Amino acid sequence: MENLIRVQDMCKIYNPGENEVRALDHVNLEINRGEFVAIIGHSGSGKSTLMNMLGCLDVPTSGTYYLNGKDVSTMKDNQLSEIRNQEIGFIFQGFNLIANLNAMENVELPLIYRGIGKGERHRLAKEALTKVGLSKRMEHKPSEMSGGQQQRVAIARAIAAEPPVILADEPTGNLDSASTKEIMEILKSLHEAGRSVILITHDNDIADQAKRVVRILDGKIVEDYYNENKKF
Amino acid sequence: MGNMTEYVKMAFKNIIANKGRSFLTMLGIIIGIASVIMVMSVGDGTADAMNSEVADLGTGQIDVYCSEDASNEGEWITPEDLTAIREQLEGVDGVTPNDGSSGSAVTGKGEFAISLNGGTEDMQKSMNYNMKRGSYFTSADVEEGNRVCVITDTDAKRLFGSDDVVGMDIELNVNGIMGSYRIVGVAQQKENGGFVSYTYEGMPVSLSVPYTSFEHFGWESDSFYSATVFANDKVSGEEVAKDIIHLLETRHRCAGEEYYQIQSFQDMVAELNSMLAIVTTFISCVAAISLIVGGIGVMNIMLVSVTERTREIGIRKSLGAKTSSILMQFLAEAAILTIVGGMIGILLGLLGAVGACSLMSASMGSVIHPGIKASTILGATLFSCGIGVFFGIYPARKAAKLSPIEALRRN
């Protein structure tokens, strides 16, 4: 079966020249459909850069990146927007909800950009919010919700359009332990339901909950192993 | 672009979320549009009122003058010229010399200065007088040089205390020569308008008389400095004016000497109108500057908004918004601000025009209706849309071009 994600020899160099920063240094990575992968590293290790690349927010300096069979590494701005919209569901550390939209409207956003009509949009958004247990908070603005609830809205937004990849960047970084547990449970259940989940974190405890761990250091992948103690 | 309604909805949502700021932004546009609409409506209304008053005074009047050269050469306009104009030219309803004299009269009410307007029976046309009593003097009176006169009712009251004066005589002293004039008609004095005045305080009593009656005071009425021709609308005023000049030049054998000059009433009205139009345009331009300032205000706020909402733009882009989606959203916001501002401005401008016109009507004594034209409103609307798009493009492009990573990083 074709890999969902295939990164070959990927480099990202900032400030090319004397003061160049090699954020990614010849990275090779393959992730299959249905995997639950944690990418772990310290700050400055290059994990955020890798996440930007995997999330199609940026293009690599060299190397190739196939996402769901498409070569993303050479795409232009608008094509990348389309890929992000259709292939990826983002979950950010800071939730990144739009403040003046309520939960429902926030979840509908990617569906709007996908061009889905109003009725279908409502149905999908409702379904996603119900999945994360927020069916009673659909009209609430982000400011009226707790951090954990906001992150659940963000998860609903990420899964509403059923993209093949869910990319979570430190999703529990701003949350207390109870909410962290809640969010991790949702991510695990998404994985169990067959979604591919990529989790970026600096926290070993979080990484341990994933099925596979990829450790990155100084722009290179230094470890790539499966958590044997986990049953998936 | 299929999502245009969605972008417009988003834009609306954002404008409503920032009510106070949106209103302040619109204020510039509101004031600009309102003042343009108001100035133009009041200007048009004033022109309309002026034209209708002036039309009442006598359209179709063409004044013929002798130039200085003609006076020096003694080539005055003669009664025969006038007859020729009346009989030979097409489109001429009447013609009268403009002859005049002054004198005084003593009645039971005291001594009065008298001004005598000498002309033919066609002079009646020049003021569009309504006869209240009796009738105007006739062509027979002119031919025979009868000393008869027409007086206005107000003047009659000044002289005699009543306007029931038909058949009475006025004893005139003109340059020491006495002569009595019989009143044959009383005309209704027209009321002064805001633009045209018929009377003033201390004005001499004025009598309309046959020009031939001046012979009684010892001068031949056989040459005139000026005459007035009354043209009907069968032939254009310009055509008639040309014919008059041609006829006079032929009769006086002075083609090309420019002895005779024409001033038609239409010319004067047109001149007045063009002056008014210049003033209106000038004030509108000043008001339009405030529109441009308003537009810059919109741009300014949009730029602030882009900076403030950088993160939102980043979120939208990460969720799949294309450059064009962001561009449209921000452009729609600028357009809505200016269009809504424009609508409010139009409304206020119209209200202002009605208010200003009623104030002017009250103070000037003539009724001015605001000249509200669809073209003015349409123009103002299009202009405000144009401003919205023009001044919205720069901030919208700035927003749309943001890289999602950059935008997400900033807070």
**B312 interfacial to chain A (CB closer than 8 Å):** yes
Interface check for B374 against chain A (CB to CB < 8 A): the answer is no
pTM equals 0.71
Contact A82 B312 (CB under 8 A): no
Residue B363: exposed, middle, or buried by beta-carbon count in 10 A (0-12, 13-18, 19+)?
exposed
Higher pLDDT, B257 or A210: A210
Assign A65 a pLDDT band (cuts: 50, 70, 90). very high
Q: What percent of chain B has pLDDT over 70?
A: 96
Q: How far apart are CA A134 and CA A141, in angstroms?
A: 12
Q: Which residues, at least 6 apart from A144, have a Cβ–Cβ distance to it below 8 Å? A: none
Question: Which is more confident, A183 or B3?
Answer: A183
Predicted pLDDT at A55: 92
How many CB pairs lie under 8 A apart between chains A and B? 63
Tokens representing B7 are 């972008």
Residue B262 main-chain phi, psi, to 5 deg? -125, 135
pLDDT of residue B59: 65
Scan for tokens 């009383």, then name that residue.
B186
Question: Quick check: B408 contacting A, CB < 8 Å?
Answer: yes
Tens digits of residue pLDDT in B53-111: 777 666 678 888 888 887 788 888 888 888 898 888 888 888 999 888 888 888 888 88
Q: What per-residue confidence (pLDDT) applies to A232? A: 46
Q: Which of residues 39-78 of A touch B (CB under 8 A)?
A: 52, 55, 57-58, 77-78
Average pLDDT in chain B: 85
Q: Residues B36-54: pLDDT tens digits?
A: 889 888 888 888 888 777 7
Report the chain A residue with the minimal C-alpha distance to residue B315. A96
Average pLDDT over residues B144-154: 90
Cβ-defined contact of A113 to B312 (cutoff 8 Å): no
Angle between the N-to-C axes of helices B265-308 and B19-58, in degrees from 0 to 180, rounded to the nearest 10: 180
Token reading at A190? 């998404």
Confidence at B371, pLDDT banded by 50, 70, 90: confident
Query: 3-class DSSP state for residue A83?
Result: helix
Chain A neighbors of B405, CB-CB under 8 A? 52, 57-58
Q: Which of residues 324-343 of B touch A (CB under 8 A)?
A: 324-325
Amino acid A67: pLDDT: 93
Measured CA to CA, the distance from residue B121 to residue B143 in angstroms comes to: 10
Q: Are B174 and B116 in contact (CB under 8 A)?
A: yes
Nearest to A100 among B14, B317, B323 (CB): B14
Predicted confidence (pLDDT) per residue in A67-102, tens digit:
988 999 889 989 999 999 999 999 998 889 998 899
Farthest-apart Cα atoms in chain B, separation: 107
Contact between B320 and A114 using a beta-carbon 8 Å cutoff: yes
Cβ within 8 Å, pair A110-B319: yes
Tell whether A86 is within 8 A of chain B (Cβ): yes
Nearest to A85 among B14, B319, B408 (CB): B319
Q: What is the DSSP letter of B370?
A: -
Task: Please report the pLDDT score of residue B149 as a whole number.
Answer: 93
Q: Is the pLDDT of residue B147 over 70?
A: yes
**According to the model, what pLDDT value does residue B223 have?**
86
Q: Give the model's pLDDT for residue B302.
A: 86
pLDDT digits (tens, 9 = 90+) for B173-194: 888 889 899 999 998 887 776 6
- 8 Å CB contact between B295 and A85: no
Share of chain A above pLDDT 90, in %: 70
Structure confidence at residue B2 (pLDDT): 57
Which of A127, A197, A200, A136 lies closest to A161 in space, CA to CA?
A127
C-beta atoms of B320 and A86 within 8 A: yes
pLDDT value of position B279: 86
CB A215 within 8 A of CB A224: yes
Neighboring chain A residues of B314 at a CB cutoff of 8 Å: 96
Work out the pLDDT band at A6, boundaries 50, 70, 90: very high
What does the alpha-carbon distance between residue B399 and residue B411 come to, in Å, rounded to a whole number?
A: 15
Furthest-apart CA atoms within chain A: distance in Å: 56
In this prediction, residues A14-26 reach a mean pLDDT of 87
Q: What is chain A's mean pLDDT, rounded?
A: 90
- pLDDT, tens only, A195-225: 899 999 999 989 999 999 999 999 999 999 9
| Among B14, B320, B324, beta carbon nearest to A84 | B320
Complex ipTM value: 0.92
Q: SS3 breakdown of chain B: % helix, strand, coil, rounded to 5?
A: 60, 20, 25
**pLDDT at res. B1:** 46
Confidence of residue A153 (pLDDT cuts 50, 70, 90): very high
B5 lies within 8 A of chain A by CB = no
Question: Would strands A70-71 and A62-67 be described as parallel, antiparallel, or unpaired?
Answer: antiparallel
pLDDT > 60? residue A1:
no
pLDDT digit string (tens) for A121-150? 999 999 999 999 999 999 999 999 999 999
In angstroms, the CA B195 to CA B55 distance is 12
Query: Chain B, 234-263: which have a CB under 8 Å from a chain A CB?
Result: none
